[in-house]
Amino acid sequence: MLQVLELRGNRISTLPPTVGNLTSLQRIMIEMNQVSALPKEICTLSTLTHLYIAYNKITALPDCIGQLKALDDIWLRGNDISTLPDSFCDLSKLSSLYIMNAGITKLPDCFGRVGSEVQPWSDEKDFGVWLELEGVYPSVCICGIL
């Protein structure tokens, strides 16, 4: 059974709705493509832990994204997503949210208020900070929002 779908840099423009049939999928890695939207069927992937959709043309996440209860890590970088759907607040296992240059101007209210900085993070090109949050996510890396 397929657990990893890696289609990085393949110039694909759509992710077909049939992706929802890949019930054992744990990782979707479709960075550096031309994808403009994710099919709502992606929300049926109950074992999905990593969603890497950076550097596409995505303008919104499906409203049902909160159904991905196992989702731990999501990379939205380099898209044009202005807001996250309210159901994003249901991603209780989320520990990493990478949103540098994703177009997001405000985090949902469920993130609570930002508390104290825990650990700076950087590499050659990017920066971020681990934050302690009061709310749904007690500790999450919100990389690139500061």
Q: pTM, whole model, 2 decimals?
A: 0.79
Q: What percent of the chain has pLDDT over 70?
A: 73
Q: Which residues partner with 113 through β-bridges? A: 134
Nearest to 35 by CA among 84, 97, 78, 69: 78
Q: Which residues partner with 130 through β-bridges? A: 119, 141
Q: Give me 105's structure tokens.
A: 């101007």
Q: Give me 78's structure tokens.
A: 């380099």
pLDDT-based confidence at 111, cuts 50/70/90?
A: low
- Secondary structure E strands in the chain: 4-6, 27-29, 50-52, 73-75, 96-98, 113-122, 127-134, 139-143
Nearest to 125 by CA among 54, 21, 22, 58: 54
β-pair type (96-98, 113-122): unpaired
Class of domain 4-107: alpha beta
pLDDT digits (tens, 9 = 90+) for 50-85: 999 999 999 999 999 999 999 988 888 889 888 888
